Structure formats: structure tokens, C-alpha cells
Amino acid sequence: MPDLSAPGPGRSGVIHDLGYRHFDGVREGSGAIARTLFTTGLRHAYGLGRSGKSKVMPFLLLAMSLLPATIVVGVVVLTGLADLPVSYADYTNQTQLLVSLFAAAQAPVLFSRDLRHRSIVLYLARPLSSHVFALVRWLSLTVAILLFTAIPTTVLYAGAMLAGLDKSDQTTDLLKALVLQVLLAMLVAGVSGLISSISLRRGFAVVGSVMALIVLTGIVTVVQNIAWYEADSETVPVAVGLLSPWSLVNGLANSWDAGVDTVVPVDGAWVPAYAIIAVLLVAGCLLGLVARFQKVGSR
Amino acid sequence: MNAGMMNATIAKLALQALLGRRRFYLLLAFPVLLIGLVVLITALTDGDAAYGVLPNLGFPLVLPLVAILAASSVLGPEVDDGSIVYLLSKPVNRYGVAISKWVVALAATLVAGALPILVAALITGDSTRAVALFVAAAVAGTAYSALFLAISAVTRHAVIASLMFVLIWEGLLGNLFSGIAWLSIGQWGLRIGHAISDELPDPASLPYAVVASLVVTVVGVWFAGDRLRSFSLRGEA
């Protein structure tokens, strides 16, 4: 009678020896499971390893956000402009509609499907805890969104280098933009992931994410403009900017001199306030995700 | 449209799919947000500042989003999980199914999308302008709901496809190229509203706007019925 599940001394493998065929390979631990889950999640966010139809939407959106960058590069190279007409950080801001749509469309792929089809129980039957599962999923989506924003900026940078623009200036601007993109990706992935894990019908998850990312930002912009131009207030526009992920990142970009214009400059004590709220928002979303997956996993 | 094609049971089921449980609150959030924002700004500023919310946010964003939510949730979940075959196996005319579902989506769009725009516009004063905007929203909402129903019958990614039409085609590109007004449902609605109040923009010719809205509505619902007639189940991968 073969020993069914006893791993060797000091090992916690989960490859069961059912007596048909032995496994002599390396038994990797939870780290390997988490790494594989991360890579698979990242690939699925772009439809890789899924059906052809699943690839259409992410790559269509990526192509749309790349198109203006290639046009800008073409103009800069051909006309010999001394500077890019749009800063790296502002390019992400100008294409925010596409970034938000990408997040809203792909977050349900990573967060809704396992819960809706209850395949989550199969994942959680492995040694990976529900906490780690939720965090790894979030990391996949964060990196997917980061790539979505970083690829067009890299194309812009390559164009700027080809056109012979000042290397140190451009590199500083690019690095600033990349740091802001990391923060943005963490925020957007947290918000859209949390919404998709709560609202399991794809349509509602998408509309919910669109409300949180696009409608909310629209409201913030309208209120900021009205408060500044009609009511002549400086405090209200800056304070309202704390309310949406995009205005948070743009406010920080403005205070950091990364080439993004806001209605009212963000400075003084508002800068730490923006940073703290952004970090709290990410932490809150992660806590929400962990709690959500723990609840679903214990059912 | 033939009223005899309406099927009360299908309409009732579609209404339940639309309003069941938490979904109702998501739909309710739009009018509450819009009216709340307008009330807040009216209270805090003088002059006509609050009206700016409607052409910038209410009409181009909230109205189509409500239409997307309504149209996709009367048909989307059934297509998504395949349970539409049980409905299609019943001896009911497929166009009747499409019309019944469209009527529910239309009613939801008008109540949660167009009506709040009227209320919000009335709060900002100038009742002629408010009525004009309401007519514009009602016309655009009708065409939107038919178009989005047709998209829902074609693809599982209906919500994203509809959002791309509204946000990228009508919004982003529409702001860059004025010619897109000729192919933009929102602009047709505004043109019809312009006939009532000059405060609304005048992007296209009136007869064209009327005919185009009508054609999109009729063809959209007919096409949704036609897709249901030749519906085939496919797995998701």
C-alpha cells in the first residue's frame, strides 16, 4: 500500500503519490505557486493563453493609446522640435480614458471569473492562502496596468532619443513619470479589482469601475473648474482633488513638476495629504480584497 | 413597432433582472449623483455655474452609462451564462423578445437617465432650456438603448464595446473632429433639443437628426431580434 500523502522529512509538497507513478523532481513551495499565479494572471490580463476573442479588447486599447505616441514621435523627428509637445506624465493623463477602460475591462477577468464560477475553491485547495491569492491577483493587474501606461511613454522616450533631445532632461522626466505610473497602477488596480470582486456580473463590474474611475474623475474636474472659475476658491479645487485616483496622481505629478497642469497648483501641506490619501486608498483596497477573498474562501 | 409583439412575462423578467438586489442601487446612484451635484453647486455658487454639469457630465456620460447598464442587464446576463436558450426554446417570436426587453431598457433609461436631467436642469432655472435638454436626452436615450441592446445581442463584451462607442467615438474623437456629430447619437439628440431652445448646440441638420435617431432605434431593435433568431451558443475560453 503506497503512502498517499506523506511528503519527505521537512517537505510540504502537495504532489500526492497515488502509486501509479513517482515524482522525483524538485518540490517547490508556495513561492513557486504564487509566481506562476502572477505570470498567468498577467498573461490573462492581455488575453494571452486565452481565446483569440479575449485578445481583441486589451490589444485594441493598447494600440489606441500607442497611436498618439507614434504620431508625436513622427512629428518631433520630422520637424526637429526642441522638446516633446507633451510630457511623459501628461501623456498618461491625456490617455486616462483608455487606461481606465483597460482596467475596467480586464479587472473582471482576474477578479470576477474565479468567484463567479466557484473555481476559487480549487485554487484555495492548494497551499496558497486566500490572502496571498488576493494580493497576487492585485499584483498581476497592477503590473498589467503599469505596462499599459509605460509602453507608450517608452515609445515617446525612444522617439525623443532618436530626435536627439537632451538625454538627462528626458531621462529625469521619464523616471518621474514611471514612479507616478506605478502609484497610478496600484490605485487603479486596487479600485477596479475590489469592485470586480464584489460585483460578479461582468457588466456591473465594468460599469462600477467606470463610475469609480471615469465618472468620479469627471465630477472632480467639473467641481474643480466651477470652484476656481466661478467661486474663485483655491482650497476647494485642491481638496476635491483628493477624491479620485486620477486627480490624486495628477496632483502629485503637478507638485513634483512632472509636467501635468492642474486647475490649482498643489503645494505646501497638500502634497503630503495627497500622498497619504493615495497610500491609504491603496491599503484600503488591499484590505477589502483580502477580506473579500477570505470570506468567499471560507464558504 | 407593433404593441402586440410585447410579451408581458418577458418584460417582467427583464425588469427583475434589471432591478434585482444590489443592481437597483447602482442604477439609483446615477440620478442621485447628478441631482445631488447640481443642488450642491447651485447652493454654493451664484449665476449659471451649476448648468455646466449637465452638458459636460450629465448628458454625455450619465445618460449613456444608464442606457448601457439597462440594455446590457436585460439581455447580457442571459447571453453570458447561456440561460437564454431556455427563453429561446419557447414558442415566442424572437422580435417580440427583443422588443419586450428593449421597452424595459428604454423605460429604465428614461426614468434613471433622462428624467434626472430634466429635474437637474429645472433646478438651474430656465424651464425652456430644461425641457429642450429633456427632449434631447429622451431622444438620445431611446436610440442609445436600442443600439446597446443590439450590441448586447452580438458580443459578450457588449458593455466595453458600448463604452468605447460612447467614451472614445462620441467623447474623445467627437471633441476633436466636429464631423463626428453626424454619426453621434448624443449630438442628434442635442440637435432636436436645439429646435426648442437655442441654448443647446446645433451640430447637424434637424431632419437628418430625426431620421438618423429613428433609423438607429428601429434597426437596433430589429437587429437584436434578428441575432436572437439565429442565436448559437458558444463556450467561453
- Retrieve residue A44's grid coordinates: 490573462
Distance CA A87, CA B79 (A): 44
Give the nearest partner residue to B41 out of A53, A218, A226, using CB atoms.
A226
The pLDDT value given to residue B235: 52
Q: pLDDT: is B160 or A138 the higher one?
A: A138
Residue B181 predicted with pLDDT over 80: yes
pLDDT tens profile A82-133: 888 899 999 999 999 999 999 999 999 999 988 888 888 888 887 888 999 9
Chain B positions in Cβ-Cβ contact with residue A53 (cut-off 8 Å): 157
Residue B237 predicted with pLDDT over 50: no
Average pLDDT over residues A282-287: 97
Closest CA to A102 of A48, A43, A62: A62
Collapsing DSSP to helix, strand or coil, A11 comes out as coil
- Mean pLDDT lowest among A81-85, B96-100, B184-188: A81-85
Collapsing DSSP to helix, strand or coil, A157 comes out as helix
The pLDDT value given to residue A8: 47
Q: Which amino acid is at A146?
A: L
Distance CA A243, CA A227 (A): 15
Contact B44 A223 (CB under 8 A): no
User: How many Å lie between the alpha carbon of B208 and the closest alpha carbon of chain A?
Assistant: 30
pLDDT tens profile B224-235: 999 888 776 665
B28 in A contact zone (CB under 8 Å): no
Crossing angle for the helix pair A216-229 and B23-44, to the nearest 10 degrees: 0
- Retrieve residue A81's grid coordinates: 522640435
The pLDDT value given to residue A4: 46
Question: HEC states along chain B?
Answer: CCHHHCCHHHHHHHHHHHHCCCHHHHHHHHHHHHHHHHHHHHHHCCCCHHHHHHHHHHHHHHHHHHHHHHHHHHHHHHHHHCCHHHHHCCCCCHHHHHHHHHHHHHHHHHHHHHHHHHHHHHHCCCHHHHHHHHHHHHHHHHHHHHHHHHHHHHCCCHHHHHHHHHHHHHHHHHHHCHHHHHHCHHHHHHHHHHCCCCCCCCCCCHHHHHHHHHHHHHHHHHHHHHHHHCCCCCCCC
High-pLDDT (> 70) share of chain B, % = 95
pLDDT tens profile A212-263: 999 999 999 988 988 888 878 888 889 999 999 999 999 999 999 888 888 8
User: How many Å lie between the alpha carbon of A105 and the closest alpha carbon of chain B?
Assistant: 6
- If pLDDT is split at 50, 70 and 90, which confidence band does A290 have? very high
- If pLDDT is split at 50, 70 and 90, which confidence band does A297 have? confident
Residues in Cβ contact with B184 at an 8 Å cutoff, skipping those fewer than 6 apart: B169, B170, B174, B203
Q: pLDDT: is B88 or B34 the higher one?
A: B34
- Retrieve residue B120's grid coordinates: 437637474
Contact A230 B47 (CB under 8 A): yes
Q: pLDDT: is B214 or B88 the higher one?
A: B214
- Retrieve residue A33's grid coordinates: 505557486
pLDDT tens profile B44-79: 777 677 888 888 888 999 999 999 999 988 887 777
Q: Is the dihedral of CA B88, B92, B93, B97 positive or negative?
A: negative
A231 in B contact zone (CB under 8 Å): yes
CB pairs under 8 A between A and B: 96
pLDDT tens profile A129-174: 899 999 999 999 999 999 999 999 999 999 999 888 888 999 999 9
A97 in B contact zone (CB under 8 Å): yes
pLDDT tens profile B108-128: 999 999 999 999 999 988 889
Q: Residue A219: closest CA among chain B residues belongs to which residue?
A: B57
Distance CA A217, CA B1 (A): 39
Contact B73 A201 (CB under 8 A): yes
Give the nearest partner residue to A203 out of B22, B46, B159, using CB atoms.
B159
Residue A2 predicted with pLDDT over 60: no
Average pLDDT, chain B: 87
Q: Residue B160: closest CA among chain A residues belongs to which residue?
A: A105
Q: Residue B18: closest CA among chain A residues belongs to which residue?
A: A204
Q: Which of residues 126 through 165 in chain A touch B, CB cutoff 8 A?
A: none
Average pLDDT over residues B28-54: 85
Chain B positions in Cβ-Cβ contact with residue A97 (cut-off 8 Å): 167-168, 171-172
Say how far residue A258 (Cα) sits from the centre of its chain: 20
Say how far residue A171 (Cα) sits from the centre of its chain: 23
The pLDDT value given to residue A110: 93
The pLDDT value given to residue B27: 85
The pLDDT value given to residue B109: 95
Average pLDDT over residues A177-185: 96
Residue A5 predicted with pLDDT over 50: no
B85 in A contact zone (CB under 8 Å): no
